[in-house]
Amino acid sequence: MSDHPKTPVVPVVPVEAFEPPYYVAVFTSVRSQEQDGYGETSARMEELVKDVPGYLGMEHAQTPGGLGITVGYFRDADALTRWRTDAEHRVAQRRGRAEWYESYTLHVAKVERSHGFTRAETRRDPRAD
Amino acid sequence: MSDHPKTPVVPVVPVEAFEPPYYVAVFTSVRSQEQDGYGETSARMEELVKDVPGYLGMEHAQTPGGLGITVGYFRDADALTRWRTDAEHRVAQRRGRAEWYESYTLHVAKVERSHGFTRAETRRDPRAD
């Protein structure tokens, strides 16, 4: 395949601790045996979400056992609604339930406090306890 | 090493969608080069947190690039406070900052809505869109 989607660039620094309140969407999933088109759609969604006003960032990791954890960060509930109801995203959601996911859980939550720690420089938030 | 800690058992089903409100603690981290004792402490914390009244569950995954995502689920803010201030956990937190983590971010958030989807049976929550 000459044009298969690039592997998403994995951040080596955690998404920052934004100023609360903001929203996190925690999406945990186990994929099915049917993965045709998943990679392309996933890469497309990763690009598309960046256009959502209020989108702050996203992180994804996966266990060897197949549990995936995706965390999306959004400025407010409206931003999340825009992403949830995006027409192209809705098509992807439907296809996900029909084909790609064995099971998933979505938790939408309002961040009340956050802090970050960086070894080299703790300027981001010195209250790192 | 004859007594190195067992690899934590990885769930093959996502943690369920509990009845809101409940809390999620999203901890994202990049580890340092110093990992002496990390495995033992991590395994111990995974056991210890289960004793916290109001603890609901935990999930962890890691990218090949080294970004770890841990999500803890708690019934209420008090449960999270109990865990955050647990004496043994505090020692682990301090050691984490001194040795094991290059950087991390913690987001503590109150879940406002959640839903689950399971291919074989959607009884958990049929509103899976």
pLDDT in tens, B41-96: 999 999 999 999 999 999 999 998 889 999 999 999 999 999 999 999 999 999 99
Contact A112 B114 (CB under 8 A): no
Residue type at A120? Answer: A
Classify residue B54 by its DSSP letter: T
Q: How far A12 CA sits from the closest chain B CA (Å)?
A: 6
The pLDDT value recorded for residue B108 is 98
Contact B107 A69 (CB under 8 A): no
The pLDDT value recorded for residue B3 is 45
- What band does A108 get if pLDDT is binned at 50, 70 and 90? very high
Residue type at A74? Answer: F
* Helix, strand, coil percentages, rounded to 5, for chain A: 30, 35, 35
Chain B positions touching A35 (Cβ under 8 A) are none
Q: How far A32 CA sits from the closest chain B CA (Å)?
A: 9
Q: How far A96 CA sits from the closest chain B CA (Å)?
A: 10
The contacts of residue B19 (CB under 8 Å, 6+ apart) are none
Give the chain B residue whose CA is nearest to the CA of A16: B105
The pLDDT value recorded for residue A125 is 52
Integer Cα distance of A105 and A121 in angstroms: 36
Contact B117 A129 (CB under 8 A): no
The pLDDT value recorded for residue B31 is 95
Looking at per-residue pLDDT, the higher value among B15 and B2 belongs to: B15
Q: Residue A86 corresponds to which tokens in the numbers above?
A: 């995006």
**Pairing state between β B55-62 and B67-74:** antiparallel
Contacting B residues, span 7-36, partner chain A, CB-CB under 8 Å:
10-17, 23-24, 26, 28-30, 32
Which among A71, A114, A117 is the nearest to B103, CB-wise? Answer: A117
The pLDDT value recorded for residue B100 is 96
The pLDDT value recorded for residue B2 is 40
- For the whole model, what pTM was predicted? 0.85
Looking at per-residue pLDDT, the higher value among B56 and A8 belongs to: B56
Contact B106 A94 (CB under 8 A): no
- Give the residue ranges of DSSP H helices in chain A: 38-48, 77-85, 87-95
Which domains are assigned to chain A? 22-111 (3.30.70.100)
**Pairing state between β A101-118 and B22-31:** unpaired
Looking at per-residue pLDDT, the higher value among A7 and B25 belongs to: B25
Contact B97 A128 (CB under 8 A): yes
Indicate the average pLDDT of chain B: 89
Angle between helices B87-95 and B77-85 (to 10 degrees): 70
β-bridge mates for residue B113, sequence order: A108
The pLDDT value recorded for residue B9 is 54
The pLDDT value recorded for residue B122 is 46
